[in-house]
Amino acid sequence: MGRRFGLGAAAAAAVCATVAGVSSSSAVAAENSVAGMPGTMTAEKYNAVNFGMTVAQVINAIGSNSCDGFSPNFAATPTSYTCWGSEPSGDIYAYANLTFTQGKLTNKSQESLIKPVAPSMTLAKYNGITKGMTVNQAMAIANRDSCVIWSEGYPAYPSTAGHKLNFHCKSGNVPLAYARFGFIDGVLDWKNHAGGLK
């Protein structure tokens, strides 16, 4: 049941490093060595997946062929599935990661399935966003239309404590430049940028 693309260890490392927000030369090299395979995951399917859903409910919402290795039977420990889209994003296809803990969806992230409406992130805006700001304060500076929610999770689900919300904000003047902002319980905890943000 589900898709199995036979991702190698290098590819898996690249995807995991990207989702974790970690950047390393080995992860970049691994990512650049993988062409990936087109799948059926879309922004609409991603948005149809809600926290607390079981694997069976997610399969019903997005289809069993959207993700690698979906199975309704798994251990109570966190289990993550990669769901590939049909549109290339750099050297891999756009994708989502869905993580289940004790049978419930507790974290989801996406890469290039959802795109900013009006990319306009600049280094000046990035520098104006500081730790301790609320989501609304930071997005007022960033311009919400230049950002998408990159990942979201509830580590103590069903409790909402420790809610993690991460934004990916694209540059309007440098094609590959972006900034990322991570919030815990609505307060900015970390930020980084890459690609020559100006």
pLDDT along the chain (198 residues), means of 10: 38 41 38 60 96 93 82 63 87 91 94 96 98 98 97 96 98 93 98 97
Distance, CA of 182 to CA of 51 (rounded, Å)? 19
Q: Report the pLDDT value the prediction gives residue 140, as an integer from 0 to 100.
A: 98
DSSP 140-159: HHHTGGGEEEEEEE-TTTTS
pTM, full prediction: 0.79
- Angle of helix 25-32 relative to helix 9-20, nearest 10 degrees, comes to 120
Q: Report the pLDDT value the prediction gives residue 33, as an integer from 0 to 100.
A: 41
The strand pairing partners of 194, in sequence order, are 178
Q: Report the pLDDT value the prediction gives residue 183, as an integer from 0 to 100.
A: 98
| Total number of residues shown for the chain | 198
Q: Report the pLDDT value the prediction gives residue 26, as an integer from 0 to 100.
A: 36
Q: Report the pLDDT value the prediction gives residue 77, as an integer from 0 to 100.
A: 60
Q: Report the pLDDT value the prediction gives residue 24, as an integer from 0 to 100.
A: 37
Q: Are 94 and 115 in contact (CB under 8 A)?
A: no
Q: Report the pLDDT value the prediction gives residue 114, as an integer from 0 to 100.
A: 96
pLDDT in tens, 27-57: 333 344 444 578 899 999 999 999 999 989 9
Q: Are 13 and 30 in contact (CB under 8 A)?
A: yes
